[in-house]
Each structure stands twice: as structure tokens, then as C-alpha cells.
Structure 1
Amino acid sequence: MPRYCRYLFLLGLVFSLHLFSNAQVAEKRKPVQTADGVIVYPAAHLGGNAQWVRLQVINDQIIRVLASPTMAPPTAQSFMVITGTQPNVKWEYKETGEQVELTTAALVAKVNQQTGQVAFFAKNGDMIVQEPLYNGRQFTPAVFSGRPSYGISQTFAVAPNEAFYGLGQHQDDLFNYKDQQVTFFQNNTEVAIPFLVSNKNYGILWDNYSISTIGDVRPFKSLSDLRLFSSKGEEGWLTAAYANDAKQPNDIAFEKAESIINYAYLGDTKLHLPANFNIAKGQVTYTGSIASAFSGVHKFKFTYAGYVKVWINDKLLLDRWRQAWNPGTAVLNIPFEKGQHYKFRMEWIPDGGESYLTTTWLNPIEPSQQNTFTFASEAGQQLDYYFVYGQNLDEVISGYRTLTGKAQIAPKWAFGKWQSRERYKTQEEILSTVATFRQQKIPLDNIVLDWSYWKQDDWGSQEFDKTRFSNPDSMIKVLHEQYKTQFMISVWPKFYEGIEAYKKFNDSGWLYTRNIADRQRDWIGQGYISTFYDAFNPAARKGFWDLIYSKLYVKGIDAWWMDASEPDILSNVSPAKRKEQMGFTAAGLAAETLNAYPLENARGIYENARQVDPNKRVFLLTRSGYGGSQRYAATIWSGDIASRWSDMKAQISAGLNFSLSGLPYWTMDIGGFSVEKRYENAQGADLDEWRELNTRWYQFGAFSPIFRVHGQYPYREIYNIAPGTHPAYQSMRYYDHLRYRFLPYIYSLAGATYFSNYTPMRALVMDFPKDSLVRNIGDQYLLGPSLLVNPVYEYKATSREMYLPEGPGWYDFYTNKYYEGGQTIVADAPYERMPLFVKAGSIMPYGPSLQYVAEKPADPITLYVYTGADASFTLYEDEGLNYNYEKGAYAKITLQYNDNSKVLTIGQRQGNFKGMLTQRTFKIVWVNQVGAKPFDLEAAPNETLHYKGKEMVVRMK
């Protein structure tokens, strides 16, 4: 019996003896079988105050678990889930002693009548996951704004070797969340998606919208709860040395004894830092030593803005920077020995007039809490989760989309290159930028207009400032007709007090009014008073759409950039302040609904846009999302990250966990958004590093689901980063062109995402589940089934260590050199190239060279066939801009390679659509372990086939 099972058995035995000796067995109510499952009535003191627990069979692989602290039936609204019990699902019901069993074709769910414990098993009897036998769930009465609610938690007993992923997008650079902690509070760079997946091929969709903590949910402790020693060895504090000029850190103005470092939210530094410290220019250095009464891995969590460095025993473990108005987070997992003193040093340069720094910690997990995973939400009326099972992680994610909706196919142009900056200030800047791309033959499909295209005091009007955008209609027409470029624009759910749109929304009761009552000013000019609209109100959503439709859409807008959609009414406030700002939403208490705001905000634009223009694909880029965002055509980007190597690295694991959360379309600011002062007018070594950072990030971004460049000054266009003769320019231009050659592959992945619930950006654990070494690899990934992407995220690196997963083998993309799988290698990574490998047993389709997606049809297509194993790929095509694919207007061509016979079969075309090529050319290039030639799409192919829609077969010679 595994150790965690023995622990649960002994715990259950102790509880049973306690109950028997005290005669506390409550009167038992019989379970009630329902049309889709069962309801049991546990003893409240054994089941965490639950009055009833209900299991609903959704389909063979999905079972919903509901529990309530009252006898009332469930009434809570689900914003995420749109699918209930599916028709014609067969399942069996059985009572065995204290257990009630529901058996489907795929799994068995058992619920204990006395305690309400739920356990899930495979059909062969193997345990998948289970709740603890006693009090694994908890309901704790709570009050918000004078209304009753409940704190809700659910713990699961898990296997010792399990790994956990998903849960949205976070910036701690953590990949496997086993024994880690994730917080759900929508914020700039932090996106909460309440879907967890396990490497044991199951998922938990947690249907709650309040501030939540997932995983190891113990609250982080103040630094003062460690044993602290000053720089002189005095116990009880660290020595904090304050210098008012960071350029002269040894010129100490004064020292203080400090044991709490907690400047977490807006205003904290003004309240708590010494008044005689120059925060804008100064530096604080904390020195001394720390010790713990526990042995084992300790977690140290930092929130920071400005520059922060941390040394333990003289080893630099953290070196970060974030802009002062948007703090970052970092977690260090450090092994400690009980009682041992560890030298501690932390340097903090706030780098601004308002900044942030916190240092907290957690001791090792107690043995009784090991091998558990918990969801804990601060507010709700019921406990509600969905257990999703599959044979692999693709099936698990498919189950998530069964519940929350399919991922719409983005318009085809969206898979090309996007160019953006913060910000294009005039229409002349936009037109000249696109003109330069076309002149230099740098492929481009989308130009993006960021914020402040309105007059300074007119935020929320959705009207162009005519002094800078004299004729936006004409500008957009030129972009469309002359430059064949799409135009995306930023819209915020924000309104300045007093403007015409504000008055209409306020008179209609569509605004959150607390920020107005507080007279809170923003950061523009002298500061303006503003608030956000209530996206939970259907009438307000329609009103917001009507506003942007009449002011913007009619001018020819192609796509929407939905910024600050958390809602970021006031940046860097505490969760309590955010709830206060929202108060009551149209859906109820802000405490119970606030994390769903970005979902409802996207819903308003998507649903109304489809009604107005039902056959034009909607495309949304939004800074936050929630479970279900994919059904509203939303791509999420990772917010205002910094232009630092560590931030670039963190985006890899962030994007992978986001994709494992079930949402397939993710992107980032290539190059990072916020820029250190040393880069603003960089010269010498700083300029060299700036160019290399952008080059490496660009290489990574070209193999992301959406390829998008954005950021503050310096300007981010290729030609503004480096001149044409520079290797940075040449590398970025190379990967831009390569992205367009990959379009048949990438767009086929989009088709598979809609029709088969596929995931394009793939953590290695998805495709190599039996290879235990990939379980913690969060800095490599597959794009589609074949392409292994290995970003380089260290300055001046010319190689990187990487792992080739077990399997038939791998080919170097550039040289076609073959490598065996299951080994770690040091791959060449010269400045201009990022390591790429292709899995043996792959078919990679490449299209013609393009300047924009719609320039010409994908003909000819070059098929690189990587031999060494059987291979298959389905080429997908449709009309690219409309929703006719939902009605069956698309075509698929199945490509199959048999390695034994060395035969490639191009299958008969299935389906058709308007404008489809009825005849096309396929060029075949064979790649094998002998006599490999470098990748060159212009070289003569091994075979050329003229395809007319009928099956064709070709044998490797």
C-alpha cells in the first residue's frame, strides 16, 4: 500500500474510533439517485459542514461534484461552464456498504455516504485521485458587504510522484506546481484560469470566481517569523542600511533594525518607509543572517519593483528588475538545515517615487499535509468542481473545452506578424511604419494602435484626437488597400468622469462608482477621475459594444485589443481594495464574481460583433481571461512584463502552463514591455545587450501561437533595433520569413484546435508522458506534433543545454543531423539561430515566401518528410476570414508516411470551400540519417507531384 494511502487509512481508523467512543454518529439519510447521478447527505462534522454532496455524470469522462453548507438547492451562476449532462450517457449506480458508486464507460466515482468523500478510479480499479476521507472539504461562514457567503476549500490526496500544471499564466517561472502555491487574483501579468491538470491524465475545473489559493494553501509568513540576526549578530532583526543615492551605496544615511519587509500595495512605501529616505534615488541594503527551526525546502516569495538582488551564503540567487508601477514576483525554493545560520543580503533600489518590496516565506510542508493539493476560495455559495479524465492530456483538455466551449479559429492573418509599440502617436507614424516594412520586404500582417489615440481628457470616448489622427477612415483604408495590412485598436473599459459616454453609462447604472466617490485620479497629465463599466450587466455590455461600434468599428477596425481587463480600475491595489472598487456587480457580490470580469468583458464584444457582422471572424487580444475565454475568440497576452532575460525565460513556463489550462492562443510582448533606463538611449555594451535580448526573444516569439512585437521606447520595429547589416536585424528578418513559410503547418494546427481540441504550444509532458525526465522541463516545448523549440535566454550564450525526449530520434532543423532521443545535449546556438529540432516521424509542410498571409495561395507546398518512424499530418485549409468553417466549408488532406515501406501517401482531399485550389504542387524532400542536406526551401526537391485532389503515392528512392 503506498505511503499516502496508508496515512489516509490510519487517519480514517483514528476518526472511526473517536466517533465510536463518543457515540457521535448522526442519523443517516439515504442517498437519492437522480436522473444524472446521486445526492448523499454526510454527517456535517465529518464532511466539512457540507449538508449534501451531489455527483452529476456529464459524460463518460467528466463528473461534476457539488456540495453545499445548506439544504437549499444550488443557485450559483456559472460564467465558465456552458455544457450540462450530455444526452445518451450510459452509467450504472450501485450502493456497497457506506459507498455509492457511479460507473461510466471510462471511470468509477465513489462517494462515502457518511463523510461525503469522493474518490475516482479507472475502470481497472486503479486509484486516480481522491479526497481525504474526513473533512477534505470545508465551508467557513464569511460576510462580505453585509451579505453572507462562505469560504470554501477542497483538498485532494495525490500520489507522491504526481506533477501538476495549468492554472493560468503566472510570472514566478514555476512549471510543475507540486508543493507550490498559486494565487487567483486577476492582475497585470497574472491570469487566473481555474483548470488544473495532472500527469496522471486528469484535470480539475474549479468553478469559483473569488480570490483563491491553489496547491499548498498555507499563508506565507512574515520574515519576522524566521530567526533573524543583525549584521552584528543580534537576534530578532536584520540590519537595514539606507543610502539616499544608489550610485553611492556605501554612503549610509542611517540604519534601522527591521524584521518585516512588506510594501505590497499602492501607498505602502509612503506609509511605512522612513520619511528621510529618498525613495526615487536611494538604496536599501538588508544584511544579517537567518535560521529556521525546520529542515527541508523553504519557500521564499518576493514581490518587487525597481532592482532587487538576494544573496544567501554569498551566492546570488535573485537578480530582478521591474518598473515601479507594475511589480513582479519571484519564488526561491531553498533547502535549510534546522538551526543552521545562513548569511543573508538583499539590495533594493526602488527606482521610482512609488515602489514595492515584500519578503515572505514558508517552512517545509508538514508530513500530514504532504501529497495533498488544495483549492481554497474566499467566497462562494457552494463548492463546485468538475473531474475530467482522459487517456492523455489532450483528452483532458478536450474535456475542459467540452465544458467551457470550443476555441474559435482566428482569422488567418492573425497567425502572421504583428507590429506594435507603446505607442504610435500619429497616423503618419502608423503609415510610415507599414510603408517601411513593405519597402524592406519584412513580412507583416497587423499593425496595432495602442492607447491614447483620444484627446488627453477624453478617455472612454473612443474618439480619435483629430490633431494627430486627422482622417482615421482614410488611414485604415490605405492600410487595407495599399499595404494589405490589418488594423487592431486598443479599447479600455474605462471612462473619465464627465465625458459624454460617462454620462450615458452613469445615467444607465452601468458603472462602478466607488472610484468616482473616492475622487481617485489616474496618472495622465494632472490626473483624471475615472471608473470602469460593469461587464456583468448584459445591457452594459451591449452599451459598450454600441459605443465602440459607432465610433470605431464602422471605420474598418479588424480586431480589438482589450487592455486592463482584470479590471485594473486602479493599479497595484490590494484584493480588498479591488472588491471595494467594484462593490456589487450585476451578478452579485464582487467578492464572489470579480475574477470573471475579463470573461464577461470579452463576451460582450464577441457576441455583439457576431450579431452585427455574423460572417466576419472576431479577434480579441485581452490582458486577462478566465476559463471559457477561448470560446469568445480571445487570445491572452502576458501583460506589461519587463525587458529582462529573466522575464523572457519566465514567459516560456507561463505560456506552457497557460496552454495546459485549456486555452490555446497565448502571446507576449516580444522584447518585453517595460525598459530599464540604461536601454532608453543605449550605447556600447548596453546597446549590444538590448539588440541581443530582442533577437533571442524574437526567435522564441516566432514559434509562439501568436507572433507579436510590442513594448515601450526604444521602438521595436526590426529596422529600429539594428541596421540591416547587423546580425540582430538579419536574424529577426530570417525568423519573420520562416514564420510565413510555416503557415500551412501553423494554420493546420488552428484547424485541429477547433475540430479536435488540439493544443498548438505543447509542454513536453503532453507528448512524452512516459519519459519521467520531461516532467519538470518548462523551458522547451513542441510547436505542434513535430517541432521542438528551445529558446536561448542567457546573455552572450552561444549554446544551450537541452533535452531530446525519448522516442524515434530527432533531426537538427538547420543541418538535418540526426540525434538519438532520451539524451541531454549541448546544442549550438550562435547569435543568429535558436536551436530547433524536428521529431523523426514527421511531415512538415512549408508554403511559398510571403509578405502577408493573403498575398497568394499556399502553392507550391514543400513537404519535408523526416524518416525514422511512421508519420502523419493533416493539412487544413478554409476561407480564412469567415465562419463558414462552422458550416462545413473547409478542406483536409491527410498526409501519411510508412517508414517500413518508405512510402508517402497524399490522401484524397476531403471537403471544399470557396476559392479552394483544385490543383496544386507538392514538392517532396526526404530527410534521413544518411547524407542529410541543410534545410533549404529553395533547393531542388527530391520529387515533385501535381495533385488534383485524388490520392497519390510516392516512394523514397
Structure 2
Amino acid sequence: MNIIKTLMVGAFSMTALTMAAAEVQQNGNKVMVKPDGGQAKVICLEVMNDNIIRVRATSESALPVKKPSLMIVPQIAPAKKNYTISEDEQSVIVKAKNVTAVVNKATGAIVFFDATGKQLLKEAKDGKKFQNFTVPEREYGVRNIGGVTEEMKHGLTWQMLFDSPSDEAFYGLGQHQSEEFNMKGKNEDLFQYNTKVSIPFVLSNKNYGILWDSYSYCRFGNPNDYLQLNRAFKLYDRRGKEGHLTGTYVDKNGKKVVRDEDSIYYEYACPPTSEIANKTDNGGLKNLPKGFNLQGATVTYEGFIEPECCGRCAKAGKNEKQLYQFILYYAGYIKVYIDGKEVVPERWRTAWNPNSYKFSTELTKGKKAQLRIEWQPDGGDSYCGLRVSQPRNKTEREQLSIWSEMARDMDYYFIAGQNFDDVISGYRTLTGKASLYPKWVLGFWQSRERYQSSQDIEDNLAEFRRRHIPIDNIVQDWNYWNLPDWGAHDFEASRYPNPQAMLDSVHAMHGRFMISVWPKFYDTTEHYKELDEKGWMYRQAVKDDIHDWLGFRGSMYDAYDEGARKLFWKQMDDHLYSKFNKNGVPGIDAWWMDASEPNVRDCTPMWYRKALCGPTALGTSTEYFNAYSTVNADAIYNGQRSVWKGKANEPRVFLLTRSGFAGEQRYSTATWSGDIGTRWEDMRAQMTAGLNYSMSGVPFWGMDQGGFCVENRYVAAQKLFNETGEENEDLKEWRELQARWNQFGAFIPLFRSHGQWPTREIWNIAPDNHPAYKSFVYYDQLRYRLMPYMYSMAAWAHFKDYTLMRALVMDFNGDKEVENIGNQWMFGPALMACPVGYYKARNRSVYFPKQCGWYDFYTGEHYDGGQHLVVDAPYEKIPVFVREGAIIPFGPAMEWCDEKPAELINLYVYEGQDGSFQLYEDEGTNYNYEKGKYATIEIAYNDADKTVSFGKRNGAFKGMLKNRRFNVVLVKKDQPRDLNLDNPEGKMVQYSGKAVSVKL
């Protein structure tokens, strides 16, 4: 029943509707409300289309007049017939076809409804909160030209708060590393960092999403800072003395230091001694025992924590339990125990790239709980920190809360839909369509940190070809340049004597070449000087004489400046792109945009990061903190396309970036999850990270398969094997970890191996008779057989706003079991991948969603939906299942993506439900698809009469197969059949582009 009372009012321009004291003015598809109360003095609602309503609000007397967006593309205002704006005595009602917003005139509170009148979201009491914000002087940074204007210094800190029913679940927010999937009741700080990607977009299982237009540091969940332990608890040492914990440090020679610890706050390298650094207490590593060598040491922090009985906590009652949400920062090996329970099993991270991990535990107010942290630092600059979120009750934790540190106003888009795909489609309507990526992107990529020479590149690609292991892309990581010339974009001559010959060789072997380009420049390079002369370099790092790990000084360019972006591309073009464009064929096929957070320096406090990367051309880095990777992607995408303007056969742009932000999909950009660790928990974290990132609207995501940063034990094990041929226990684990990670990688959008030494070519991981080797080759070959399936999905991402890596909640929303499953997913419409994330596991629990039955991908065995089962997971394979009604086109065996046309497609069809599939094909590498030069074939399966129908082919393109064969293979519930991609028994269909059906 529709619960919205609507009084129709005709569209008119700037006419006051003042039946109540609140002021209401309408102008076309916008309505301005100045409510009687609440912190928001002005609220503006704008109908964007049938599914989206924009909301802006401010505590100032007026909204900003000029407010260009870095994430939203130009929108077409809806026709007047497609919306109504009306009011009654209490409310203003803004109604589009599929979504309605009702604004309370007295308070300004907003409630959203779907097309049927069902409530989707309701603003909480005092749901809009504002504070005036002035950027601290220490965060301005310095620039060569210009400075920080008064306008740049000031903005608003805001929080929006909505009530949320107990059965709601939240997803999205980008890519984060704590193995969290459903974010209901959880906290997430949104900023960009190596391994962390933040996107201001959250989706609900109630089929709506919120995209907020803010580029600053944001928080989902608790809007307050994490607290040091001494601000949240009474502390007691290991003997029960009040006031502090006990820290015990024992170095590798047995030297012991025991001291009091009033907090565990050893998280950051100290900023250098400078005018800006001296304006704050840096804390961090300088507080560790002076003169103590952490290398090889063991550290224990122990004692008791007692929740204080004050503030909001006191209302819970002295004997009641309260949930405490902790965040742990660490490098080295670490474990955490509370009351003897291991709340953080052993984790590890390399010293130069620390990690964070969140965990929660219930504590009783007024009762001591024993805390013990066991830490083995990994090098002299290791990190350890433990903080806790200000406790809140269950209702407060489960509200939908979004906080932004600095913006011009509160500005968000409410997107309604029938399902998750509709909501994501709304996101891409606002932020831009995903490009259709080159077909070869879906193939296998080989990378390592790093190939040292052109000989390295050519020899390794040749070895893939010699072994007949499929591969499309080989990647040149950083430092191909002369060591002091970071940012020169030149190959170092002694190691790369003839770059053009190297690129020709790669292409002659049917490979593609991707190269790493950073937005970073040493200050001795001509490119730095050229940018700096125009005021387009961030200069704080140079002023503070910061030297990187190689001992040189430099900084990042200001990608927020349009002129800087054009010059950045010109430098790349002159030295790399057009320089190696031979006879109209580019030598460089794709760009790897590293450190695009931007990462001027690792492991610094948040305020100093802002000082290092700003101010920007648009404002301070406090306000423009998170969007750098998008404007940087703009530079390369539009730069490369400008080279080909008006020319035929333009190659598609492709970028891989370590950071990400709303709208990057429109720049043909994918993201990888950064320099992750090489442990099982790191692999498991990529599952939830990739799923939430995919639900954040950017369809192409990948990771360093096998992990990037390597534990010393694995390095030692590989060295021992190289010297003696011995496979010790650590090497066995290493090989199994690599096998499981590669199995996982076969079922995500980007299939790419990368990492530090030991090198990651499969023959360097294990010999060819080893199950790890055999497993990789199997899944690599399978990936290429699935090319028609995957490339069709890539096209759907462009034409239909599709998402390739799909959390189960996307396709099976309504089944409560799937809301918290973050370790199995749909890869496209047919395949449910269930990777193995634990060492020596030979089975795993799998949930089969209740909406359909399921088939074992390898054997054809049928399973009923709606049940949990423990299934086999042998070393060489992971469980994969196919849903009833699925249609999967398998192409020929290939060693690169376009080696041969798919003249024969083995079309597997799985009975039990009706099904459909749209096969998409085009030229694979150019932009002719933008001109309509592509073809689709609609394929449908009718389960009742066991008929498969092929529709008339729509469209055409150069090189298209006019005639082909489909071998249709029906998999039945009562007749299991093994997957056979070479010569399966089926019904052959000769297809010439005309509609045809076959009864099975």
C-alpha cells in the first residue's frame, strides 16, 4: 500500500510554496527547502532520473553556487512528465518514477520510498550534523607558485545518519583488508593508501545505494577517532598496578628492557625535523626504547584493561557487557590475546608496508580483562599500535552513518533499484560508463618485482611460449630507468639497449607489453623541473629533504591541475608512447599507474600525508584527499586518445592503478589491491576486498596472485631448494599457497601473477611434474577456454553496467544465508567459485543458494539449493559450481586471446531452469565498438521442452565469423557428465547468423 500522501502541484519556476513556516522554492527538477529546525538551514533535492534523487544540505545560509564535481559526469535533466514535486502542511514530496523522497518541513529530515511506497531509508533524529572546519596550517603543504587562499582553508565537516532495520546489510566502500564483508555495524576509515582503496559508495540489501560527492577523508560507522587505550580504559600492568601496561623488550642477544606503557602507539615513522613537523607531537616510533635494536627482538605488551564507567558507556550499567571494536596496526609477526583468548591469530607484514586489522570483543564495564600482545618486529622500522573505537550501543552501531572531514556542503545521491545491478547502473549513470577493455586484458599476465632487462622480458615470454602456457601480457615494473632518473621515462641503456627491438620481440611472440609509470619525479630530472617551473609539483617533500628507499629526493605532480595533466602525458608520450609507435602500431600496450594514492612517503601520520600532497590546484589536500587516482587516470586516458584523434584503428586505452575512486571506470581503469602480504590471511582478505570493490561500481579488479611482500622463511626455503633441491616444509607451504592463489585468480576479472622474490613464473615456483605447476596450467588453459564467456561479460559491463565478480547477495538477495558469505561468489551469471584459503585444507564448506539447484563444474553432479555442504577440494582444484539454467560458451584451446577464432563453441547448458546468454564479439582491441561495429547473438534455453534457441545475429564487424558451429551439450540432474572441452558429445548446430533452434 502506498503510504505517501501526495498533493500534485504543477511545475513552475521559483514559486514559493509557503503553507508552513518553512520556506519552499521549486525550480524545474529541483526544490529548495529551508526547514524550521535542525542543523541544516538549506536543503536542496534534485530529481536526476527515474531512480536517483540528489540531496544537498548546508548549515550555511546558502549552498555553494559553483561546485564542479570530479566524480559526476554531465547529466540530462528529466522531462517534466517524469517527476512531481508537491507539498502538504508537514512535508515536501519529491517523486520520481521509482523513488520518492519526503522532507519534513519542521526538521528537514528525509525519508526515501520505492515505487510501491515501501520505506527504504529514514533519516535518524538529528540526522544531519555540521561543524565549521578550518584546515590546520600544518596541512597546507607548499607549492612553488601560488598558495592557499582563504576560500581553500574553510569548509564543513558533516555527518549524515540514518536508521537501519536489523535485517539490513551494507556493502561497497571500496577495497579494505580486514576480511570484512557485510559492513553493518562495522567501522571503516575511507582514505587511499597502499593496499587500501576508498570509494564513497555504499549499497544496501534493501536495493538502494548512497554515493556521496566528497573527496576528503571520510568514515563509515563511528564518526569519531579511534582512541588510545588509556583514553578508553583504566590500564593496569602485569602485576595489577594501575596506570599503565607492561612492555618487555628482549633483543636477539638477550638484552632486556622492561618499562611502563601508557598506550600502544608505535605506528608511524617520524616526519623529518622541519618547520611543519615541529608544529605537532609526532608520536609514533620515536617513543620506542632508545638505542634498542628491534631486528630479531621479541616484544610483549601485557597487563589489564578495564572499561571506564563514564559517558555513554555508563548508561549500559556496571555489570553489562559492551562491544569494543579495536584496530591493530602491525609490521612483523603479531598475536593478540584478551582474557587468554586469541582474538588475533598470528599475522605478519613486512616492515616497510605495515597493515591494519580490525577485531571486536565484548568486555564488562568495571571488570578487568587481561591483555597480551606478542610482537616480533620485522626490521628496525617495525610498527605496532592498538586503538579502540569509542563504544556505542547496538542501535547506534547499526545505523547508517557517513562522516566527511571537509567539503563545501553535504552532497549525496540516493539511488534506488530493483536489485544490486540496478543500483550499480545508477552509480555508473552518475559517474560514467565503464569502458570496454581490450580483450587481451582477460588473459593471463606475468609480472614480477622486477624484470631487470630487456633480455629478462624476452626470455621469460619466450619460455611461456616454449612451454605452451597461455599468456597475453608481460609487465615491466619500476626502475627500468637509470637509478637517479625516476620520472625521466627512459629505458636505462645498458640493460635495455634497444627498447624498440624488445617491444617488437614481445609483439612477434603475440604478447602485450605493460609498463609502470609513476606520478613521481626526482627533483634532479628535467621532467620535475619542467613541471615545477609551472607550480605543478608538490614541494613539501623536497623542502623537508625526504629521500626515498633508494636514497634520492623527489615528489609527485599535481594531477588536479589540467595543465599539469597534459604536460604529464606529453612527457610520457614523448619518451614512451609515440616514441615507440612503429608504423602505426604502439609499442606500449598498457600503463601501470603505481603509487597513485598518491604515496609521497610511506608510513606517515595522516596530517603529514596531507602536507606532502598539497595544496592542489583545486584546494587543500584535506578537501581533495581521495580523488588523485581519478584525475591521474584522466591524464593518461585522454592523453592517449588525443594521439589518435581522427585516426583509424585506435587501440583501446588500458590502465592499472594501485588506488581507485568513484568514476575511474570511465577512464578504462582497473585497480589492483596493492603490495599485499604473502600469507593465507592475506589471500582470504582479497576475497572480501575484491567483492566489496566490485560492488563499489568499478567492474575490473585484480591482485598480486601469490602476494607481493614475502616472509623471510619462504625466501630461505626457495634459496635452499635452488642450492640443494630440497623441498622443506616452508617450500611445500609456499607452493601450495601459490597454487591456491592462482586457482582463486582464475575466477576474478584480472588474472595476474606478481610479487617479490621468489620469482613468480610458474616454473620458478615448482617443477612441471608438481601439482602446483599442473594446477596453474589447468586453470590458465581453462581461463582461455572461457574467453567467449568472459569477453561477453566485459561487454556487458560497458553496455549493461554489469559486474563480473559478483557477491552471492547480488544474485540471491532474499536468501539470508548469503548476506555474510564473502569467500565464494559468482563469476558471471553461471559459475560459483569457492576458493580454498587455508593451508592443507582438502575440503571446505560451501553454501548453495536456495533459489536454484547446482552442478559440480567438473563432474556434473547435481546438488539441491538451500543447504550447506562440506565438499572436496583436492590440492589441484577448488570447488566450482554451476547454477541451473546456466549457458556457458567454451572456445578453443589458445595460447593468447586472439590466436584463433571461436569457430566451434562447445555450449554447455544446465537443466533445471530457463536460461539465457548474450554472446558478444568485436575486433577486440580498437574503438570501433563505439561506432556500432560489433555483433551479438541471443541464446535462450527453455527447460520445459529442452530447447536451445539462437537468435538472429545483430550487427557486424571486420573479421567477423559469418558461419560457425555450436556444439550444444546438455547437463542433466540425473545424468552427471564430466567437463570435456575437447570433444564433448552434444548436438551440433550450424549457425550462419539466422535464428535457429535445437531440441536436446
TM class, shorter-chain normalised? over 0.9
Deviations 1:32-61, CA, capped at 9 Å, x for gaps: 011112101124xx322x321000000011
- Segment drifting more, 649-658 vs 606-615: 606-615
What does residue range 135-154 of structure 1 map to in structure 2 within 5 Å?
A: 135-145=127-137, 147-154=153-160
Aligned in 2, Cα 1:33/1:453: closer, same or farther, shift over 3 Å?
same
1:603 maps to 2:629: no
The residue that corresponds to 1:8 in the other structure is: none
The residue that corresponds to 1:213 in the other structure is: 219
The residue that corresponds to 1:426 in the other structure is: 453
- Segment drifting more, 79-88 vs 791-800: 79-88
The alpha-carbon deviation at position 291 of structure 1 amounts to 3.5
Asked if the contact 1:201/1:389 (under 8 Å) is kept, the reply is yes
- Distance in 2 (alpha carbons) for counterparts of 1:103 and 1:269: 52
Asked if the contact 1:76/1:382 (under 8 Å) is kept, the reply is no
What does residue range 659-670 of structure 1 map to in structure 2 within 5 Å?
A: 659-670=694-705
Amino acid at match of 1:33: Q
The residue that corresponds to 1:295 in the other structure is: 321
1:679 maps to 2:726: no
The alpha-carbon deviation at position 370 of structure 1 amounts to 4.6
Aligned in 2, Cα 1:30/1:315: closer, same or farther, shift over 3 Å?
closer
What does residue range 407-446 of structure 1 map to in structure 2 within 5 Å?
A: 407-446=434-473
Deviations 1:812-832, CA, capped at 9 Å, x for gaps: 111111000111111100100
The residue that corresponds to 1:179 in the other structure is: 185
- The partner residue of 2:540 within 514, 521, 540 is 514
What does residue range 399-414 of structure 1 map to in structure 2 within 5 Å?
A: 399-414=426-441
1:579 maps to 2:610: yes
What does residue range 3-152 of structure 1 map to in structure 2 within 5 Å?
A: 28-43=21-36, 46-48=37-39, 50-74=40-64, 75-88=66-79, 90-145=82-137, 147-152=153-158
- Distance in 1 (alpha carbons) for counterparts of 2:186 and 2:127: 22
Amino acid at match of 2:539: T
- Distance in 1 (alpha carbons) for counterparts of 2:761 and 2:223: 43
The alpha-carbon deviation at position 487 of structure 1 amounts to 0.2
Asked if the contact 1:269/1:354 (under 8 Å) is kept, the reply is no
The residue that corresponds to 1:282 in the other structure is: 297
- Distance in 2 (alpha carbons) for counterparts of 1:134 and 1:735: 53
1:632 maps to 2:625: no
- Segment drifting more, 235-244 vs 442-451: 235-244
The residue that corresponds to 1:471 in the other structure is: 498
Amino acid at match of 2:446: Q
What does residue range 843-882 of structure 1 map to in structure 2 within 5 Å?
A: 843-882=887-926
- Distance in 1 (alpha carbons) for counterparts of 2:47 and 2:284: 52
Deviations 1:258-289, CA, capped at 9 Å, x for gaps: 23001222235541001142112212111233
Secondary structure of the equivalent of 1:400? helix
The alpha-carbon deviation at position 218 of structure 1 amounts to 3.1
- Segment drifting more, 771-780 vs 579-588: 579-588
- Segment drifting more, 291-300 vs 620-629: 291-300
What does residue range 642-791 of structure 1 map to in structure 2 within 5 Å?
A: 642-682=677-717, 683=720, 684-791=728-835
The alpha-carbon deviation at position 375 of structure 1 amounts to 1.3
- The partner residue of 1:535 within 551, 559, 576 is 559
The alpha-carbon deviation at position 97 of structure 1 amounts to 1.1
Asked if the contact 1:491/1:563 (under 8 Å) is kept, the reply is yes
Secondary structure of the equivalent of 1:108? strand
- Distance in 1 (alpha carbons) for counterparts of 2:354 and 2:383: 6
- Distance in 2 (alpha carbons) for counterparts of 1:84 and 1:66: 16
Amino acid at match of 1:429: D
Amino acid at match of 1:815: T
The residue that corresponds to 2:572 in the other structure is: 548
- Distance in 1 (alpha carbons) for counterparts of 2:737 and 2:830: 27
Asked if the contact 2:33/2:42 (under 8 Å) is kept, the reply is yes
Secondary structure of the equivalent of 2:224? coil
- The partner residue of 1:257 within 254, 257, 260 is 260
The alpha-carbon deviation at position 130 of structure 1 amounts to 1.8
Asked if the contact 1:185/1:575 (under 8 Å) is kept, the reply is no
- Distance in 2 (alpha carbons) for counterparts of 1:593 and 1:343: 42
The alpha-carbon deviation at position 229 of structure 1 amounts to 3.0
The alpha-carbon deviation at position 903 of structure 1 amounts to 0.7
Mind listing any 5+ residue stretches in structure 1 that lack a counterpart?
6-25
Deviations 1:837-860, CA, capped at 9 Å, x for gaps: 000110111000000011111221
- Distance in 2 (alpha carbons) for counterparts of 1:584 and 1:218: 25
- Distance in 1 (alpha carbons) for counterparts of 2:919 and 2:204: 31
Secondary structure of the equivalent of 1:59? coil
The alpha-carbon deviation at position 104 of structure 1 amounts to 1.4
1:304 maps to 2:349: no
Asked if the contact 1:56/1:85 (under 8 Å) is kept, the reply is no
Aligned in 2, Cα 1:135/1:808: closer, same or farther, shift over 3 Å?
closer
1:489 maps to 2:523: no
- The partner residue of 2:962 within 918, 930, 934 is 918
Amino acid at match of 2:934: Y
What does residue range 606-621 of structure 1 map to in structure 2 within 5 Å?
A: 606-614=637-645, 615-621=650-656
The alpha-carbon deviation at position 922 of structure 1 amounts to 0.7
Amino acid at match of 2:49: N
* Identical amino acids, percent of aligned pairs: 46
- Distance in 2 (alpha carbons) for counterparts of 1:885 and 1:438: 30
Q: How many residues align?
A: 922
- Distance in 2 (alpha carbons) for counterparts of 1:737 and 1:143: 54
- Segment drifting more, 588-597 vs 834-843: 588-597
Amino acid at match of 2:113: F
Asked if the contact 2:133/2:406 (under 8 Å) is kept, the reply is no
1:557 maps to 2:588: yes
- Distance in 1 (alpha carbons) for counterparts of 2:105 and 2:243: 51
Asked if the contact 2:130/2:156 (under 8 Å) is kept, the reply is no
Secondary structure of the equivalent of 1:413? helix
Secondary structure of the equivalent of 1:589? coil
- Segment drifting more, 285-294 vs 627-636: 285-294
The residue that corresponds to 1:230 in the other structure is: 237
Asked if the contact 2:42/2:63 (under 8 Å) is kept, the reply is no
- Distance in 2 (alpha carbons) for counterparts of 1:637 and 1:209: 20
- Segment drifting more, 535-544 vs 291-300: 291-300
Amino acid at match of 1:64: R
Deviations 1:537-578, CA, capped at 9 Å, x for gaps: 111101010111111113110000000000101112222112
The residue that corresponds to 2:527 in the other structure is: 501
Amino acid at match of 1:61: N
Secondary structure of the equivalent of 1:378? strand
Amino acid at match of 1:534: D
Deviations 1:667-693, CA, capped at 9 Å, x for gaps: 000000000111113150010010000
- Distance in 1 (alpha carbons) for counterparts of 2:52 and 2:375: 49
Backbone CA RMSD of aligned residues: 1.7
Asked if the contact 1:425/1:453 (under 8 Å) is kept, the reply is yes
- Segment drifting more, 265-274 vs 503-512: 265-274
Aligned in 2, Cα 1:27/1:107: closer, same or farther, shift over 3 Å?
closer
Secondary structure of the equivalent of 1:858? coil
- The partner residue of 2:622 within 580, 591, 599 is 591
- Distance in 2 (alpha carbons) for counterparts of 1:437 and 1:141: 57
Secondary structure of the equivalent of 2:682? helix
Provide runs of 4+ in structure 1 moved above 4 Å: none
What does residue range 882-901 of structure 1 map to in structure 2 within 5 Å?
A: 882-901=926-945
- Distance in 1 (alpha carbons) for counterparts of 2:803 and 2:394: 37
Asked if the contact 1:142/1:151 (under 8 Å) is kept, the reply is no
The residue that corresponds to 2:196 in the other structure is: 190
Amino acid at match of 1:194: P
- Segment drifting more, 679-688 vs 760-769: 679-688
